Amino acid sequence: MKPNHGSHRALWFIAGCMLLVATAGEAQNVSVGVVLDMESWVGKVGLSCIDMSLSELYEANPHYKTRVVLHRRDSAGDVVGAAAAAVDLINNNKVEAILGPTTSMQTNFVIKLAHKAHVPILTFTASSPSLASHRSPYFFRLTHTDSAQVAAIRDLLKFYNWRQVVLIYQDDEFGDGMLPYLIDALQGVNARVPYQSIIDPTATEDQIEEELYKLMTMPTRVFLVHMLPSLAIRLFAKANQIGMMREGYVWILTDATTNLLDSMPSSVLKSMEGALGVRTYVPKSMELDRFKIKWKREFVMENSVPNDPYLDIFGLWAYDAARALAIAVEKTGAKNFTFENPNRGQNLTDLETLGVSRNGEKIVEALSKTKFMGLTGNYEIVNGQLQSAEFEIVNVNSNGGNRVGFWNPEKGLLSNNMTVIWPGNTAAVPKGWEFPTAGKRLRIGVPVKEGYSEFVRVNGKKVEGYCRDVFDAVIEALPYALPFDYIPFALPNGSRAGSYDDLIMQVNTGVYDGAIGDITIVANRSKYVDFTLPFTDSGVSMVVPTKANSMNRAWLFLKPLTVGLWITSLCFFVFMGFVVWILEHRINPAFRGPPSHHIGTSLWYSFCTMVFAQRETLISNLARFVVVIWFFVMFVLTQSYTASLTSLLTVQQLQPTIININELLTKQSWVGYLDGSFVWGLLTSVGIKNLKSYRSPEELDKLLKLGGSNGGIDAAFDETPYIKLFLSKFPNKYITANPTYKTDGFGFAFSIDSPLVADISRAVLNVRESEKMNQLQMKWFGEDNSWSSVKVTSSRLSLSNFWGLFLIVGIAAIISLFIYFFIFLRKELHTLRNTTTEASNSSIRSKIRALLRIYDNRDLTSHTFRKSNPPQVVDNKIQANHGDSVGASSSSNYLLSSSNDSIHDTNHGFSKSGDLSPSNQDVETVIHTTNEIVPQNEKYP
């Protein structure tokens, strides 16, 4: 018979209850069942904490009218035993609630029994998320669900940038329940699970060893262990034995094991040294310290344990769960806790005769509203679930666990900068994978080709070329050694074994671990392999022969500007001449005269601004404002024209024989492509049918020389690195033309989700930014290879380059005209009224005609038509300043000024522009027709 370790504890508890009952008066006893694995550590600790919780609660609250009386049952670690214990407690002891069972599998079945009997189930150890699927209001998980720690594990992997992790979990409901939540969380940080190791809880040592050896053959070195401590201890003992706890390995434990680290012996902990674990965080408090001391003293006395026992989180949850239940029972206020017994018939099973608690719903409601400060912190139940807590990240050592980080739902992972000692007693962070394993070297496939040997060249088993040297430089830049071998992708006779796509499929199927060479990164290939970042420029362009510029050099001066810009400039020259004429016509003698003189002067002035050689003086401030802006436009335009013309005259102009792909399609020209390249598919997709392949730059040169009509090709499409090399070999004979199709350049290919891709991509960036890349380019492509291609682009200046300037000068001219006409109309409004009043016809047309006549006259008030020495009247004649005389009326004391502009023209009596020398007949006409009398002391116009 097994010794009754709890006899002393039971007697002590009964005596305490009798004392409390005696002091509390008429307190009602409420039966509560306890179903635990009594022989397990969790069961022993949990039961002791439940007893102490009820004892301390009733001691502190003697006025309570209810007393929880426990009925204990041992499930013996068996699902059937737990179910039988629950049925017995409900049928025979009429329990109002059950604390337990221990495991998730036991709880899974007991929940259904409790739901049928309306008996709340309070488990403080069953943590599988799958238990929530029952959605029973009578199930209370007073521990943290395993899914609560998933976010902490995810952030831990992200912190160390581990992209692959192998899951190791036990094959039961406890192990399976967390799996979907974990995989979903890992996908959020681009981490994947390449393999899942499932171990049966009853597996033998040989079976565990076999599974671990399988894991050793895989490149991933990050293992997440989710299993109960009993199985985890066996797993780590075997892993330590076969050498999987050495440097380079990463082991992460879930809280199912980590929560019990401090209760494990040092011999067990030694096999786990270096592992990281997620553990429930319990805030420190004086009450917690007090209870730990008291519990340790009483537990040692009752169980006779030789070593110093450790109170784990499950004991604390048991204490708080018992307290929550006792408070809820008290809150129900029920005077009678009874069951409804079903009709008992013959041949009925125990399940069919389960009674139904009349107070189950009240206890459930009271539990849902229960809140208090427990040993584990703020204790609150929401939807039957203890609220998620914070976690600490611990580093396993021989003394238990050393905290190295902290996690909470709001701030995520917080590191306290403590050094982690990894397996192998090293502080260097493992990279998370080890490739290859068991002495295996990487097999790197290399394509075999004939042309463009500067990129890759295979001679037997010897591999040379630019791509090989770049890969070697990249491997040297890695922070760790990576042994590998180049394997030519060739037939036994040394010839090419297939296309580049075939080589990609060989990597996909595992024949090669990776592939290097002039392999272009395209979307279709990325479905089968993962590419590193490119190490060359990208794009596919058309290369065509050049021809000398056939344009007549005599007319080359027209080429700097496009037709649209020429026309726009010409229109603005005319427009600006018209604007200046309008603003200067009434006040500037240079802009007066017959119509032909008006037009000539205006255009002459406008075009002279192009070379800043105009001689006419502007009088109007508005005209000056407009011309200043026009000068700036002309300065910019002429300087740009001069620069473009200089370039056209000094640089040899090479023109492509074919401008674009539309010309190829229209003429059905022959087009070349590199043999084995993906470019063939690109050309067929755009509708090109006449295709011919080539294998080397020399063959491409020969085909382009022949031309499509002589058995050659008219153009070729190739990738940017090939075109650069081709143009460097045959300069000034060929040129690239549009279109350019975007690709990602050359890259190194590895199997999908290979852990090498990220590290090699970073190394590629380092090499590309270093002088090493320039040295390799000079080695294989020569100093004259600038690695830059010439594009056929137009150097002509178009209207789009200057439309802003034209817009500014146009707006300035329009505003000036508006201001001018506003001033003119305001000034001459009275004259217009007098004219239209005297006229017999005052229609709109006559008014416009009169307005135009007024505008065509000189503005006699302008200072430009006044002179400091006015002419005198001598002997009945008007004596001009220069000595010419004209007839005048002797009786007049005033000089008569005509509004007729004809006397100002040199063809009408003026000796020269600006001088007044009219004939006698003209003056007489003026005297008899004038409408204005100018006093003699006024300046003569």
Identify the weakest region by mean pLDDT among 303-317, 392-406, 725-739, 842-856. 842-856
pLDDT at 508: 92
pLDDT at 831: 66
Cα–Cα separations (whole angstroms), residue 630 to 591, 623, 626, 821, 890: 19, 10, 6, 21, 52
Cβ distance 109 to 101 under 8 Å? Answer: no
pLDDT at 789: 42
Confidence of residue 75 (pLDDT cuts 50, 70, 90): very high
Burial class (CB in 10 A: 0-12, 13-18, 19+), 82: buried
Q: Please, where in the chain does CATH 3.40.50.2300 lie?
A: 26-143+312-343+350-386, 146-283+388-414
Identify the weakest region by mean pLDDT among 106-115, 375-384, 402-411, 927-936. 927-936
**Range 178-190 average pLDDT:** 89
Residue 60: half-sphere exposure toward Cβ, Cα within 13 Å: 9
483 upstream amide cis, omega within 30 of 0: no
**Range 26-32 average pLDDT:** 88
Query: Between residues 281 and 917, which one has the greater pLDDT?
Result: 281
Protein fold of 442-537+747-781? D-Maltodextrin-Binding Protein; domain 2 (3.40.190)
The percent of residues above 90 in pLDDT, for the chain, comes to: 37
Is 0.85 surpassed by the pTM of this model? no
The percent of residues above 70 in pLDDT, for the chain, comes to: 81
Provide φ and ψ at 35, rounded to 5°: -120, 105
Query: Between residues 152 and 479, which one has the greater pLDDT?
Result: 152
pLDDT at 549: 53
**Range 225-230 average pLDDT:** 93
> Residue 109 corresponds to which amino acid?
F
> Residue 484 corresponds to which amino acid?
F
792 pLDDT more than 60:
no
Identify the weakest region by mean pLDDT among 327-341, 445-459, 512-526, 894-908. 894-908
865 pLDDT more than 90:
no
d(CA 585, CA 592): 6
**Range 64-87 average pLDDT:** 93
pLDDT at 934: 38
613 pLDDT more than 60:
no
| Mean per-residue pLDDT of the chain | 81
pLDDT at 852: 77
585 pLDDT more than 90:
no
Q: Please, where in the chain does CATH 3.40.190.10 lie?
A: 442-537+747-781
653 pLDDT more than 90:
no
- Strand residue runs (E) in 359-449: 371-374, 377-382, 385-386, 391-397, 400-408, 412-415, 442-447
Burial class (CB in 10 A: 0-12, 13-18, 19+), 246: middle
> Which residues touch 759 (CB under 8 Å, ≥6 apart)?
431, 478, 479
441 pLDDT more than 60:
yes
> Which residues touch 94 (CB under 8 Å, ≥6 apart)?
31, 337, 338, 339, 355, 357
384 pLDDT more than 70:
yes
498-511 residue pLDDT tens: 889 999 999 999 89
d(CA 655, CA 725): 20
Confidence of residue 604 (pLDDT cuts 50, 70, 90): confident
**Range 851-870 average pLDDT:** 67
Confidence of residue 904 (pLDDT cuts 50, 70, 90): very low
Confidence of residue 439 (pLDDT cuts 50, 70, 90): low
* Choices 3.30.1360.30, 3.40.50.300, 3.40.50.2300, 3.40.50.620: CATH for 26-143+312-343+350-386: 3.40.50.2300
Burial class (CB in 10 A: 0-12, 13-18, 19+), 927: middle
d(CA 21, CA 40): 32
Cβ distance 161 to 761 under 8 Å? Answer: no
Q: Which residues of 420-440 are buried (b: 16+ CB within 10 A; e: fewer)?
A: bbbbeeeeeebbbbbbeeeee
334-379 residue pLDDT tens: 677 777 766 555 554 566 678 889 899 999 999 999 999 999 999 9
pLDDT at 389: 77
CB 625: neighbour CB atoms within 10 A?
17
pLDDT at 892: 33
Identify the weakest region by mean pLDDT among 268-272, 318-322, 749-753. 749-753
561-575 residue pLDDT tens: 888 888 988 888 888
pLDDT at 610: 67
d(CA 176, CA 191): 19
Judged by DSSP in three states, 673 sits in strand
436 upstream amide cis, omega within 30 of 0: yes
Q: Which two three-digit tokens encode residue 553? A: 């050099």
918 pLDDT more than 60:
no
922 pLDDT more than 50:
no
**Range 576-602 average pLDDT:** 77
77-125 residue pLDDT tens: 888 999 999 999 998 899 999 998 998 889 988 998 889 999 999 999 9
| Helix (H) or strand (E) segment spanning residue 141 | strand 139-141
- Say if domain 656-743 classifies as CATH 3.40.190: yes
**Range 805-829 average pLDDT:** 86
> Which residues touch 384 (CB under 8 Å, ≥6 apart)?
137, 139, 140, 141, 368
Q: Return the residue matching tokens 């076969």.
A: 242
Provide φ and ψ at 855, rounded to 5°: -65, -35
- Say if domain 146-283+388-414 classifies as CATH 3.40.50.2300: yes
d(CA 395, CA 720): 52
pLDDT at 648: 72
pLDDT at 827: 78
pLDDT at 842: 60
Confidence of residue 612 (pLDDT cuts 50, 70, 90): low
Q: Which two three-digit tokens encode residue 452? A: 């463009």
828-848 residue pLDDT tens: 777 666 665 555 556 777 777
pLDDT at 226: 95
d(CA 503, CA 506): 5
Confidence of residue 877 (pLDDT cuts 50, 70, 90): very low
d(CA 901, CA 810): 31
**Range 416-426 average pLDDT:** 86
